Amino acid sequence: MSNTVLALLANHQEWQLVQNDHSLIPDLIEESLRFDSPVLSLMRRVCTDTEIAGVKLPADDFVFPLLGSANHDASQFSDPKRFWVGRKSRAYLSLGSGIHFCLGAQLVRLQARIAFEEIFSTFENFEKADQSPLKYFDSFFFRGVENLQLNFVVKKRTSSVGILKDYRE
Ligand code: HEM
């Protein structure tokens, strides 16, 4: 959630786009997962001697695939440094892949969608509360800020409270 808010703060046009059209929230979440992956790396033990891209990997070695880096691979994503809600490629690896693909993936997407629908319906004019540097978790595997304080304006409600919507789909 915080990685997404930070990406939006740095990309005001994308913020306006989603603010004006909430049907783009699922695309916002997908692009945020790619752009600033909360899980940066995995760990794998090599079972048998093998070779990947010309690099020999002896059995019992450990490998740390960098998901965050793969998500910015220019051969998979055009203009990978750009935070772009309209991006169509979903080839990112932030939720893993194969048999260990994240079991919580749909829950994460649903939670984030509900949260951002509420945020965009309730608040506007976000900005960082102060200009002090962000402190990221001290972790090789996870990426996120320890604390993100924001100033915002509460919008006037024109419709019923969104949380009563039916999210079962
Ligand atoms: C944004 C939030 C999340 C991210 C970025 C994320 C990312 C990942 C990644 C990269 C993997 C693959 C691990 C590997 O291959 O070694 C994974 C696995 C897994 N995730 Fe998530 N996850 C998230 C939230 C959740 C939630 C909310 C749940 C449960 C409610 C969950 C449950 C699991 C489980 C059980 C696995 C292991 C699946 C397996 O080994 O077969 N995750 N997740």
Q: Is residue 66 part of a domain?
A: yes
* Cα–Cα distance list, 79 to 73, 90, 147 (Å): 9, 14, 29
Q: What is the pLDDT of residues 107-154, one digit of tens each?
A: 999 999 999 999 999 999 999 999 999 999 999 999 999 999 999 999
What pLDDT is attached to residue 156? 78
Q: What is the pLDDT of residues 19-57, one digit of tens each?
A: 999 999 999 999 999 999 999 999 999 999 999 999 999
Q: What are phi and psi of 156, to 5 degrees?
A: -75, 130
Confidence (pTM)? 0.90
Stated as kind and residue range, the H or E segment containing 62 is: strand 62-63
Q: Is residue 169 part of a domain?
A: no
Q: Is residue 42 part of a domain?
A: yes
Say how many C-beta atoms besides its own lie within 10 A of residue 31's C-beta. 25
Measuring CA to CA, which residue among 117, 90, 122 is closest to residue 105? Answer: 90
Given a cut of 60, whether residue 167 has pLDDT beyond it is no
Q: What spacing in Å lies between the alpha carbon of 161 and ligand 1's midpoint?
A: 31
DSSP 17: H
Transcribe 105-169 into DSSP letters. Answer: HHHHHHHHHHHHHHHHHHEEEEEES--SPP-B-S-SSB--BS---EEEEEPPP-SS-GGGS----
DSSP 39: B
Number of helices (H), then strands (E), in the chain: 5, 6
CATH number for the domain that contains residue 135:
1.10.630.10
Q: Is residue 142 part of a domain?
A: yes
Q: How far apart are CA 147 and CA 134, in angstroms?
A: 8
> What residue's CA is closest to ligand 1, atom 12?
96
What pLDDT is attached to residue 6? 97
| Ligand 1 contact via 144 beta carbon (within 6 Å) | no
Atom of ligand 1 nearest to the CA of 38: 5
Atom of ligand 1 nearest to the CA of 39: 5
Q: Is residue 91 part of a domain?
A: yes
Per the structure, the complete domain to which residue 150 belongs is given by 2-164
Q: Is residue 113 part of a domain?
A: yes
Q: How far apart are CA 99 and CA 71, in angstroms?
A: 19
What pLDDT is attached to residue 160? 52
Q: For the chain, what is the domain count?
A: 1
Q: How far apart are CA 126 and CA 51, in angstroms?
A: 48
Strand partners, 154: 123
| Ligand 1 contact via 112 beta carbon (within 6 Å) | no
